[in-house]
Structure 1
Amino acid sequence: MTEKIGLIGLGAMGLGMAQSLRRKGYSVHVCDVRTEAAQAFAAVGGVACATPAAVAEHCEIVVSVVVNAAQTEQLLFGENGAAAAMRRGSVFVMCSTVDPNWSIAMEKRLADMGLLYIDAPISGGAAKAASGEMTMMSAGSPAAYAKAGAALDAMAAKVYKLGDAAGPGSKVKIINQLLAGVHIAAAAEAMALGLREGVAADALYEVITHSAGNSWMFENRMAHVLAGDYTPLSAVDIFVKDLGLVLDTARASKFPLPLSATAHQMFMQASSAGHGREDDSAVIKIFPGIDLPAAK
C-alpha cells in the first residue's frame, strides 16, 4: 500500500516538497488557502483536501510549510484544524521559520494531545525544494524520527538532526536567516554603489561572482536585479519577519547584533516604501540616485 503523507501550504517551497514526495512514491494529500493551488497539484497526481482536518484524517504524517507561527497555529487549532483530527502517535512536521521558544512550546502542546512533533525549518529555495535537494534543520524525539524520517529524506538532500527535542532546529534556522538577510542587504548595497559610480551592472556582476567578494546571495539575488525581475521567490516582508525574529532571540539574552539590526532596518524601509511583496532583492530600491536595470 502506498504510504500517505499530508502537506499543508503550497507556496514556493511547499509545492516543490510535495512534488518531491510524490516522486518518491508517496500518496500526497495537500491543502492550501488557495483552492486552485491544491487542485492544480491534484491534477498531476496528488490528492486535494478542502481543510487541514481533511488532510489529517487521511495521514499520520502532516507537514506544514506556511509563512509563520500564527498561520501554523491556525491550521492546527483553527476551524477545521489538523490537530484535533490527527490520530494519536501521528507526527506534525513544522517547517516554518519561527521563534525557537514558540516551537518548544508547540511540541509540548501537541504532546499533551498524544501527537509527535519535529521542529524542521528548511532552506535552499524553490528550485532545491522541487528537486529534493534542500536542507532541513531538524530536532525531535527518536519516536518522531522513526515515523517520519524517511519522509524527511524524501524532501531534503541534507536532514540535520540537531537535538532530541524541539528548539535547536529553529535556533540554527534563525542564525541562517541572520546571514541570509545580511548578505542580501550587503549585496544590494554593493550593486547600488556600483550603479551610482557608473559601473556597468553586467560587468560588475561578472567580476564579483568570480572574485573573493562573492556570496551565494549576491550571485542569486543580483541576477534578479540585472533582469529587472522582482517576482517574489522570497519577499522583502519575509526578511522583515525573519530578521525581526533574529533580533528578538538575541534581545532576550542581551546579545548585540549590529549588522542584523542595520539589515532589518533596510528591509523595513523597503517594505514601508511599498516593496514588501516584491522579491527580497528589491531592498536595493531604497538607495537614492541610481538607475536600476529595466525588465528584460
Structure 2
Amino acid sequence: MSEIVENPRRGIVAAVIGLGSMGLGMARSMKRAGLDVVGFDVASAAVDRFVADGGRGAATPAGAAENADVVVCVVVNGAQTEAVLFGADGVASAMKTGAVFISSATMDPSVARALSQRVAALDLHYLDAPISGGASKAASGELTIMASGSARAFDTARPALDAMAAKLYELGDAAGTGAAFKMINQLLAGVHIAAACEAMTFAAKQGLDLARVYEVITASAGNSWMFENRMPHVLAGDYAPLSAIEIFVKDLGIVQDMARSERYPVPLTAAALQMYLAASGAGMGRDDDSSLARLYAQLSGAELPGLIGERQSR
C-alpha cells in the first residue's frame, strides 16, 4: 500500500486583503496550493470573483483576518497598508497572536520599519515583502518576492510564500530592507519604460516600421525587459492598464524623496518622473504605463498605431 503524504499547507488559513490583478492571482495561487484562503476587497465584485473560484469572502479586513495564520496585504502604498492594519475594521485587532502580516505594497523603507514596530508591539509578526512579476506571474504562483523580517515571520509565512513565488529572496531580519530593494527595482523599471517609449516614438517619427524596430531591438544590445514587455502595447495601440501611469508617479516620487533625504542625485529618475507626471496631467493616469509613448506622440506629432483618431479628438 502506498504511503499517504500529508500536504503541509492543508489547514493553514491565509487572508488576502486587496483582490486586484495582483492580489487575486496571489489568492488563487495559495488556494491552488492547498491553503484555506479568504479574501477581502473594497470592491465587492472582486470578492465575488474569488468566491466564484471556490475561495471564501469576507465583508471587512478584520473578518478576513480572523483565525488567519497569514495575512497578505496587496494594496497600493504605505498609507493604505496602515489603514488595512489599524483603520476601521483593521486586521491588527483581529489577528491571532503569532500570526504574520505580509506587506506587499511598494513603500518608503522608513514606513515599513514604522509599521513593523507597531505590529510587533501586538505580538504579531511583520514581513516586509514587496513583489515583482506582474499579474500573469501572480496568477501562476511565480512572483519574485523581496522579503525581510524575523526568522519566525519567515517560518510562519513559508507555506504562503512558497505558493506565491518562484523566487523568494530572504534579505535580512530588518523590515525596510525588502522595501529598499523594491525601490531600486522601481527606479530601473520606471526609467526603462520611459526610455523604451521615447525610443519607439522616436522610431515612429523617423517613419520606421515599428514591428521591425521591435524585432531588431529585442535581438540587440539595446533591448530591456521593459522594452520587450511594454512595446507590444504600443504596437497594438492598446493602453488598457496592466500597470498604470500613476504607479510610477507614486514609486518614482518615493525614490526621489529617498534620494533627497540622502543628498543623492537621481537625474534620470527625475526626468522620467516628469514624463509620468505629464502623462497623468494629460488624462492618462489610469492608463497603461506604456502611455508615455502616447505623450511623446502628442508632443512630437509622431504617428503611433491607433492614435490618429485620438489626436484629432483632442
Alignment TM class, shorter chain as reference: over 0.9
- What is residue 69 of structure 1 aligned with on the other side? 78
The match for 1:293 among 305, 308, 311 is 305
Q: Aligned AA for 1:44?
A: D
Which one has the largest radius of gyration?
A: 2
The match for 1:205 among 211, 214, 218 is 214
Q: Aligned AA for 2:304?
A: L
- What is residue 2 of structure 1 aligned with on the other side? 11
- What is residue 29 of structure 2 aligned with on the other side? 20
Per the normalisation by structure 2, the TM-score is 0.92
Structure 1 position 150, deviation (Å): 2.0
Structure 1 distance, partners of 2:178, 2:20, is 21
Structure 2 distance, partners of 1:58, 1:291, is 56
Structure 1 position 218, deviation (Å): 0.3
> 2:40 aligned with 1:40, yes or no?
no
Q: Aligned AA for 1:237?
A: E
1:1-296 equivalences in 2 (<5 Å): 2-287=11-296, 288=299, 289-294=301-306
Question: SS at the partner of 2:269?
Answer: helix
Question: SS at the partner of 2:66?
Answer: helix
Structure 2 distance, partners of 1:292, 1:275, is 16
Structure 2 distance, partners of 1:31, 1:146, is 24
Structure 1 position 43, deviation (Å): 1.2
Structure 1 distance, partners of 2:21, 2:55, is 17
Structure 1 distance, partners of 2:258, 2:220, is 34
Structure 2 distance, partners of 1:260, 1:221, is 19
Structure 1 distance, partners of 2:216, 2:141, is 31
Question: SS at the partner of 1:81?
Answer: coil
Describe the superposition over 1:166-203 as per-residue Cα deviations: whole angstroms up to 9, x where unpaired.
Answer: 01100000000000000000000000100011001111
Structure 2 distance, partners of 1:129, 1:22, is 13
Structure 1 position 149, deviation (Å): 1.4
Structure 2 distance, partners of 1:13, 1:80, is 22
Structure 2 distance, partners of 1:227, 1:271, is 21
- Structure 1 segments, 4+ long, off by >6 Å, are none
Report if aligned partners of 2:104, 2:130 keep a CA contact under 8 Å in 1.
Answer: yes
Describe the superposition over 1:55-101 as per-residue Cα deviations: whole angstroms up to 9, x where unpaired.
Answer: 11131210000011111111111111111111121110000000000
Structure 1 distance, partners of 2:44, 2:112, is 28
Structure 1 distance, partners of 2:230, 2:198, is 12
Q: Aligned AA for 2:289?
A: D
Structure 1 distance, partners of 2:208, 2:67, is 57
Report if aligned partners of 2:12, 2:69 keep a CA contact under 8 Å in 1.
Answer: no
Per the normalisation by structure 1, the TM-score is 0.98
Structure 2 distance, partners of 1:229, 1:189, is 17
Aligned residue pairs total 295
Percent identity over paired residues: 57
Report if aligned partners of 2:67, 2:96 keep a CA contact under 8 Å in 1.
Answer: no
Structure 2 distance, partners of 1:230, 1:12, is 16
Question: SS at the partner of 2:127?
Answer: strand
Structure 1 position 2, deviation (Å): 2.5
What is the RMSD computed on CA atoms of the aligned residues? 1.0
Structure 2 distance, partners of 1:263, 1:163, is 31
